[in-house]
Chain A
Amino acid sequence: MHDRGVWPTDTPIDRSEHELADWELLTDALVGLLGDEGLMNVDEMRRGIESMPPDDYEKASYYERWLLSAETILVEKGVLAPGELDSRLG
């Protein structure tokens, strides 16, 4: 799903832009810090994104993909317990 060159489309490009929401800036910042600390490198994050189910990949927003990948990788590395983030959401 991530390899968009093999998914040809005629869809026009939506040129509207939005200012990043606070949670999006937060996600970007957290991913940067995880990288600085050696907990998740950029290749791992991309791999995490690519491992999403195809429908989820297409529906998720850009930073949502970053967030889901960070969760995947952090659980894989034992920084987060499986389901720990879900239980924090209540």
Chain B
Amino acid sequence: MSDHDHDHDHDPITSDGEPTAAARAWALEALLVEKGVVQREDVRRNIDRLVSRSPADGARLVARAWVDPEFKQRLLADARAAANELDLDSGPSPVVIAVENTDEVHHMVVCTLCSCYPRTLLGPPPDWYKSLPYRSRAVSDPHGVLEEFGVELDDDVELRVLDSTADVRYLVLPRRPAGSEELTEDELAALVTRDSMIGVAQPAAPAPA
């Protein structure tokens, strides 16, 4: 992690004489620190926490659900409680729902209104998730979106798009890959990609034996 020291002056980086967003961010920090609204140590700590996030915790939930059917039922009933069972941080959202992909339904998650995302379990959302085209087409053309991401669904599968418009965050429980029966839980977790937990990809296939 970069050991970024905020105590030196940041010259505004201008282009066409317009201060950039970066300059505004540094200036805002300086003002808020001067006014005693925030402390530099708290800013630094928050940044450290942000850069340490990853999809690893989400992947652990999925892998455990794949090997333990009773855990899976608990995960589907209350994902926050299931995360706490594994000593994982379930985050500030009051409700996190895990939704299971089966041979009858495939889930895909979006936030058309902004960028709601289960950050505590998956880390920061990718740029495309926050992009205007994804936010629009995930609801108006979800098959087109899946095609771009390389996912094909059979005609009789229900594609269920979940638009996170309120206090609930969604985590997709993707289908366990074929040929993964002999893998350990850690090996299974390594197959669970961030995109498979958003619903725009399937998990990775196990390496050939």
Indicate yes or no for A touching B, C-beta below 8 A: yes
B128 lies within 8 A of A4 (CB)? no
Whether A55 is near chain B, meaning CB under 8 Å from some CB there, is no
Given A80-B31, A84-B31, A85-B31, the answer on whether A30 and B113 have CB atoms closer than 8 Å is no
Given A9-B132, A17-B127, the answer on whether A23 and B30 have CB atoms closer than 8 Å is no
Which secondary structure dominates chain A's binding surface?
helix
Q: Bound complex: CA of A83 vs CA of B43, how far in Å?
A: 24
Given A7-B136, A13-B128, A62-B115, the answer on whether A30 and B50 have CB atoms closer than 8 Å is no
For A34, list chain B residues within 8 Å (CB).
37-38
For B112, list chain A residues within 8 Å (CB).
3-5
Given A4-B136, A5-B136, A23-B21, the answer on whether A88 and B43 have CB atoms closer than 8 Å is no
Closest-CB distance, A85 to chain B (whole angstroms): 6
Which secondary structure dominates chain B's binding surface?
helix
Given A9-B132, A14-B131, the answer on whether A79 and B29 have CB atoms closer than 8 Å is no
For A62, list chain B residues within 8 Å (CB).
115, 127, 130
Whether B105 is near chain A, meaning CB under 8 Å from some CB there, is no
Whether B204 is near chain A, meaning CB under 8 Å from some CB there, is no
For A33, list chain B residues within 8 Å (CB).
38, 42-43, 46
For A79, list chain B residues within 8 Å (CB).
32, 35, 37
Q: Bound complex: CA of A13 vs CA of B151, how far in Å?
A: 14
Q: A9-B136, A17-B126, A29-B50 are in contact. List 18 more A-B contacts (CB 8 A).
A: A2-B113, A5-B136, A5-B140, A9-B132, A11-B137, A17-B127, A21-B22, A22-B22, A23-B25, A23-B26, A26-B25, A26-B47, A30-B25, A30-B28, A32-B46, A33-B46, A63-B21, A67-B24
10 CB-based A-B contacts, threshold 8 Å: A4-B136, A5-B112, A5-B135, A8-B137, A9-B136, A13-B131, A14-B131, A23-B22, A61-B21, A89-B23
